[in-house]
């Protein structure tokens, strides 16, 4: 049973195998959602392995549009070699890979270099049983698959080969050479356009919330100093920026970075004279563990200056009402969160969500511009 | 594990380490000024079952040192992990086998974690003692180990395993009631109560402060448990609130000045001098 009471499925890999056999790509993509019951009660390692197993299916089945954000997210911030390798394989099933994929693959290579490991997507092969590919090798194979469409990778690949001391094993260097040859092919058409190499702009989506049967604004919260108040008490009367985190998050590109960015946003709003006009808060996914003293230490360590407009919060009861209200992408293992996506919500003066940014890290400009549009 | 057993085990480990000094020096000299040149030879020694145990352990130690040189070691990481996976199989000398398991567990290797879990559920499949398995699995605090550790705690008959299970549960918020119960139960082994001091203080400082104050005041309780509780009260985030309780503060002052129990007197001194 998971920390939020959900019951785990006995053999989720068999479920994935069945969906693979029936070529049900949409059903497989639906299983990628962090809150899917297939992950309930499992540890993070097992969860990442299962997600990787699902992602790798799309190399053969074809990558549906609904799965692409998961692939991009894994390449952008993933640290698990198996899951990142799976995302790289999934790209090879995309009919028209987005332009930014090349830059994401290069970023992933840089991140995985010191974490590489053998990977096998054949469940009949044990980890010590001769799997002959690694996460790095899969990333370079995908660059090779992209061919001249990944021409921007040419110079970085050359630099990798020339680096001394050599940063890659002989096997990986062979893959780099193959990728370099593929992306450097001349006379081949490329799909480059005006935005080649640039990250896609942050997309705000209108927020849609389901009827809950209770008033979320009355939900009780506690801040980093132990003060207790309702969600409405904090957010009503001014626009707000709401995000989610937990102090035990292991990926420095997720919660830690999110809270650091909130701190920078707070400083920027203060410089622009907007400090008192916006509420800024992050609510913990893990309220039973994230006691006020932990919230305070976590926020202060990342530059937050707490005041009556800027707080780190936890629910005094279950977190589940917020998960239901905002359909947050978070799953739970036996004791804590096993995976989560990045979710940031902009609230209007009535504390209603007006737009969301999911699965990508935002920049301060994105939030400030959106807030200005709300005023 | 009691102190005598721990001392014996540690002395045995030191003796084994002393025996590997010669082999380690040889490995160190093999490293020379450019470690990247020597890593393949060290990996070959580590993976060669025909080499002596001392030479293989020395190679593992040398490689462990080189691992800090991230860029230098990166090209060899996959080969190193594969060798460890071969070593971490039944039949290898336990001294090498457990070292390999520990590194793989620290790397959160899924297969190693699964095998350690299986051993906790089925003693026939156990790679190492339950206490060691729990310790290795606890390297990953997202392994979702709480339910299994609780089960092990309730079923175990030896103290070392129970202690290891409590150390794991000290990060599980659901376990605070267990720690509260153990802490207040004078019939429990004192080491379990001492671990409960740490566990409850970490998971619920407020509840701990309430219980700990009663324990400190209880002259019928064990000195070491009272001293542990008072020591933790000196460092709890609620220390300033507890100090505002004039009656309790007077009791601590009396303990610090008059108690014949040395540990308790020292703990009282630390509590009172904490600003």
Residue A268 lies in a domain: yes
Indicate whether A128 and A232 sit together in one domain: no
- State chain A's mean pLDDT as an integer: 89
| DSSP state, residue A217 | G
Q: Which residues pair with A205 in a beta bridge?
A: A356
Indicate whether A230 and A326 sit together in one domain: yes
Q: Which of B70, B72, B75, B206 to mutate to test the interface with A (most CBs of A within 10 A)?
A: B75
Q: Write the CATH number for A359.
A: 3.40.30.10
Set of chain B residues whose Cβ sits within 8 Å of the Cβ of A114: 70, 74, 77
Residue A143 lies in a domain: yes
Q: Rounded to a whole number, what is the distance in Å from the CA of B172 to chain A's nearest CA?
A: 6
Residue of B nearest to A48 (CA): B110
Cβ distance A165 to B36 less than 8 Å, yes or no, reads: yes
Give the SS3 label for residue A255: helix
Indicate whether A94 and A235 sit together in one domain: no
Indicate whether A258 and A331 sit together in one domain: yes
Set of chain A residues whose Cβ sits within 8 Å of the Cβ of B113: 43, 45
> pLDDT-derived band of residue A193, with 50, 70 and 90 as boundaries?
very low
Sign of CA dihedral B142, B148, B153, B154: positive
Cβ distance B78 to A169 less than 8 Å, yes or no, reads: yes
Instruction: Work out the average pLDDT over A209-228.
Output: 88
Indicate whether A69 and A175 sit together in one domain: yes
Residue A254 pLDDT exceeds 60: yes
Set of chain A residues whose Cβ sits within 8 Å of the Cβ of B76: 169
Residue A188 lies in a domain: no
Residue A278 pLDDT exceeds 60: yes
Instruction: Work out the average pLDDT over B133-140.
Output: 96
Residue A137 lies in a domain: yes
Q: Rounded to a whole number, what is the distance in Å from the CA of B86 to chain A's nearest CA?
A: 7
Count of beta carbons in the 10 Å neighbourhood of residue B62: 25
Between residues A283 and A368, the one the model is more confident about:
A283
The predicted-structure confidence for A87-102, as pLDDT tens digits, reads as follows 999 999 999 999 899 9
Instruction: Provide CB contacts within 8 A for A319, sequence distance 6+.
Output: A4, A283, A284, A285, A286, A287
pLDDT at A77: 93
Instruction: Work out the average pLDDT over A186-190.
Output: 62
Residue B34 pLDDT exceeds 60: yes
Instruction: Work out the average pLDDT over B113-120.
Output: 94
The dihedral formed by the CA atoms of B235, B238, B243 and B247, expressed in degrees to the nearest 10: -110
Instruction: Provide CB contacts within 8 A for A211, sequence distance 6+.
Output: none
Instruction: Decide if B159 contacts B188 (C-beta within 8 A).
Output: no
pLDDT at B9: 67
Instruction: Work out the average pLDDT over A257-281.
Output: 93
Set of chain A residues whose Cβ sits within 8 Å of the Cβ of B70: 114
Instruction: Decide if A333 contacts A47 (C-beta within 8 A).
Output: yes
Size of interface A-B (CB pairs under 8 A): 99
Residue A5 lies in a domain: no
Set of chain B residues whose Cβ sits within 8 Å of the Cβ of A338: 142, 144
Instruction: Work out the average pLDDT over A245-250.
Output: 96
Sequence spans of domains, chain B: 37-107, 174-275
Instruction: Work out the average pLDDT over A335-359.
Output: 92
Q: Rounded to a whole number, what is the distance in Å from the CA of A132 to chain B's nearest CA?
A: 11
Instruction: Work out the average pLDDT over A183-209.
Output: 59
Is A155 within 8 Å of chain B by CB? no
Find residues 165-194 of chain A whose CB sits inside 8 Å of chain B.
165-170, 172
Residue numbers of the domain that contains A114: 12-183
Instruction: Provide CB contacts within 8 A for A300, sequence distance 6+.
Output: A306
Q: Which of A6, A131, A165 to mutate to test the interface with B (most CBs of B within 10 A)?
A: A165
pLDDT at B262: 86
Set of chain B residues whose Cβ sits within 8 Å of the Cβ of A334: 144-148, 172
**Number of residues assigned to chain A:** 375
Which of A183, A215, A235 is the C-terminal boundary of a domain? A183
Is B177 within 8 Å of chain A by CB? no
Residue of B nearest to A293 (CA): B237
**Number of residues assigned to chain B:** 275
Instruction: Work out the average pLDDT over B44-73.
Output: 93
Instruction: Work out the average pLDDT over B128-136.
Output: 96
Is A42 within 8 Å of chain B by CB? yes
Instruction: Work out the average pLDDT over B51-79.
Output: 92
DSSP labels for A140-169? HHHHHHHGGGGGGGHHHHHHHHH-SS--S-
Closest partner residue to A333 (CB to CB) among B70, B144, B205 is: B144
Residue A35 pLDDT exceeds 50: yes
Indicate whether A146 and A218 sit together in one domain: no
Q: Rounded to a whole number, what is the distance in Å from the CA of A355 to chain B's nearest CA?
A: 31
Residue A158 pLDDT exceeds 80: yes
pLDDT at B159: 96
Q: What is the ipTM of this complex?
A: 0.86
> pLDDT-derived band of residue A199, with 50, 70 and 90 as boundaries?
very low
Indicate whether A242 and A314 sit together in one domain: yes
Instruction: Work out the average pLDDT over A54-71.
Output: 96
Q: Phi then psi for A240, rounded to 5 degrees?
A: -140, 155
pLDDT at A307: 95
Query: With pLDDT > 70 as the criterion, what percentage of chain B qualifies?
Result: 88
Instruction: Work out the average pLDDT over B132-146.
Output: 94
Cβ distance B205 to A49 less than 8 Å, yes or no, reads: no
Residue A7 lies in a domain: no
Residue A201 pLDDT exceeds 50: no
Indicate whether A37 and A166 sit together in one domain: yes
DSSP labels for A42-88? --HHHHHHHHHHHHHHHHHH---GGGHHHHHHHHHH---HHHHHHHH
Set of chain A residues whose Cβ sits within 8 Å of the Cβ of B203: 289
Set of chain B residues whose Cβ sits within 8 Å of the Cβ of A284: none
Total structural domains in chain A?
2
> pLDDT-derived band of residue A5, with 50, 70 and 90 as boundaries?
low
Set of chain A residues whose Cβ sits within 8 Å of the Cβ of B141: 248, 336
Closest partner residue to A168 (CB to CB) among B75, B140, B144 is: B75
Indicate whether A232 and A310 sit together in one domain: yes
pLDDT at B42: 95
Which of A151, A183, A215 is the C-terminal boundary of a domain? A183
The predicted-structure confidence for B234-259, as pLDDT tens digits, reads as follows 888 788 888 888 899 999 998 888 87
- State chain B's mean pLDDT as an integer: 88
Residue A150 pLDDT exceeds 50: yes
Closest partner residue to B74 (CB to CB) among A1, A114, A333 is: A114
| Region of poorest pLDDT, from A173-182, B135-144, B243-252 | B243-252
> pLDDT-derived band of residue B12, with 50, 70 and 90 as boundaries?
low
How many CA within 13 A on the CB side of residue B214? 9
DSSP labels for B226-241? HHHHHHHHHHSTTHHH
Count of beta carbons in the 10 Å neighbourhood of residue B33: 6
Indicate whether A353 and A216 sit together in one domain: yes
Is A1 within 8 Å of chain B by CB? yes
Between residues B269 and B165, the one the model is more confident about:
B165
> pLDDT-derived band of residue B127, with 50, 70 and 90 as boundaries?
confident
pLDDT at A194: 40
Alpha-carbon distance of B120 to B133, in angstroms, equals: 7
Indicate whether A269 and A338 sit together in one domain: yes
Indicate whether A48 and A108 sit together in one domain: yes
Expressed in angstroms, the distance from the first to the final Cα of chain B is 35
Is B77 within 8 Å of chain A by CB? yes
pLDDT at A131: 61
Cβ distance A335 to B144 less than 8 Å, yes or no, reads: yes
Residue B175 pLDDT exceeds 50: yes
| Region of poorest pLDDT, from A49-53, A341-345, B100-104, B222-226 | B222-226
Cβ distance B72 to A165 less than 8 Å, yes or no, reads: yes
Cβ distance B173 to A169 less than 8 Å, yes or no, reads: no
């Amino acid at each position: 049973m998971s920390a939020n009471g959900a019951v785990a499925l006995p053999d989720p890999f068999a479920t994935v195998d069945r969906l693979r056999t029936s070529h049900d790509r949409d059903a497989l993509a639906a299983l990628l959602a962090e809150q899917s019951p297939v992950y309930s009660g499992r540890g993070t390692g097992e969860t990442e392995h299962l997600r990787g197993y699902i992602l790798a299916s799309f190399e053969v089945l074809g990558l549906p549009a609904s799965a692409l954000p998961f692939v991009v997210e894994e390449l952008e911030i993933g640290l698990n070699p198996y899951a990142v390798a799976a995302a790289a394989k999934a790209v090879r099933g995309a009919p028209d890979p987005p332009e930014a994929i090349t830059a994401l693959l290069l970023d992933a290579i840089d991140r995985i270099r010191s974490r590489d490991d053998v990977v096998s997507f054949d469940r009949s092969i044990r980890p010590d049983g001769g799997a002959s590919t690694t996460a790095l090798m899969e990333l370079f194979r995908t660059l090779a698959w992209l061919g001249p469409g990944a021409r921007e990778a040419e110079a970085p690949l050359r630099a990798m080969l020339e680096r001394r001391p050599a940063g890659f094993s002989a096997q990986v260097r062979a893959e780099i050479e193959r990728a370099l040859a593929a992306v450097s092919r001349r006379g081949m058409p490329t799909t480059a356009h005006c935005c080649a190499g640039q990250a896609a702009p942050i997309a705000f989506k209108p927020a849609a919330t389901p009827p809950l049967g209770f008033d979320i604004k009355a939900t009780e919260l506690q801040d980093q100093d132990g003060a207790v108040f309702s969600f409405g008490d904090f957010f009503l009367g001014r626009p707000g920026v709401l995000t989610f985190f937990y102090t035990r998050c292991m990926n420095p590109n997720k919660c830690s970075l999110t809270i650091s960015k909130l701190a920078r946003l707070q400083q920027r709003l203060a410089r622009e004279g907007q400090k008192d006009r916006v509420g800024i808060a992050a609510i913990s996914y893990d309220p039973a563990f994230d006691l006020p003293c932990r919230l305070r230490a976590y926020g202060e360590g990342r530059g937050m200056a707490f005041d009556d407009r800027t707080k780190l919060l936890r629910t005094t009861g279950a977190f589940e009402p917020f998960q239901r209200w905002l359909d947050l992408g978070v799953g739970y293992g036996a004791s804590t969160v096993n995976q989560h996506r990045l979710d940031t919500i902009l609230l209007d003066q009535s504390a209603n969500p007006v737009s969301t940014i999911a699965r990508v890290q935002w920049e301060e400009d994105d939030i400030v511009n959106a807030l200005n549009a709300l005023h | 594990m009691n102190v005598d057993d721990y001392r014996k085990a540690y002395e045995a480990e030191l003796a084994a380490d002393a025996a590997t000094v010669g082999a380690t020096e040889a490995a160190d000299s093999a490293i020379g000024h450019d470690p990247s040149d020597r890593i393949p030879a060290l990996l070959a020694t580590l993976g060669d079952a025909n080499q002596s145990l001392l030479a293989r352990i020395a190679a593992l130690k040398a490689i462990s040192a080189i691992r800090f040189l991230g860029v230098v070691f990166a090209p060899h990481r996959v080969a190193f992990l594969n060798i460890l996976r071969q070593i971490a199989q039944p039949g290898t000398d336990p001294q090498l086998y457990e070292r390999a398991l520990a590194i793989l567990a620290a790397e959160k290797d899924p297969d190693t974690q699964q095998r350690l879990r299986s051993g906790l559920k089925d003693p026939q499949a156990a790679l190492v003692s339950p206490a060691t398995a729990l310790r290795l699995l606890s390297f990953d605090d997202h392994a979702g180990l709480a339910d299994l550790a609780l089960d092990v705690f309730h079923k175990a008959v030896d103290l070392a395993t129970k202690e290891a299970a409590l150390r794991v549960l000290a990060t599980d918020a659901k376990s605070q009631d267990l720690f509260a119960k153990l802490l207040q139960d004078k019939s429990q082994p004192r080491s379990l109560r001492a671990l409960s001091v740490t566990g409850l203080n970490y998971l619920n400082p407020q509840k701990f402060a309430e219980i700990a104050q009663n324990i400190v005041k209880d002259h019928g309780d064990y000195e070491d448990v009272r001293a542990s509780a008072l020591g933790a009260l000196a460092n709890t985030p609620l220390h300033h609130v507890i100090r505002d309780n004039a009656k309790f503060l007077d009791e601590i002052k009396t303990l610090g000045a008059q108690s014949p129990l040395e540990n308790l007197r020292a703990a009282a001194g630390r509590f009172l001098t904490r600003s």
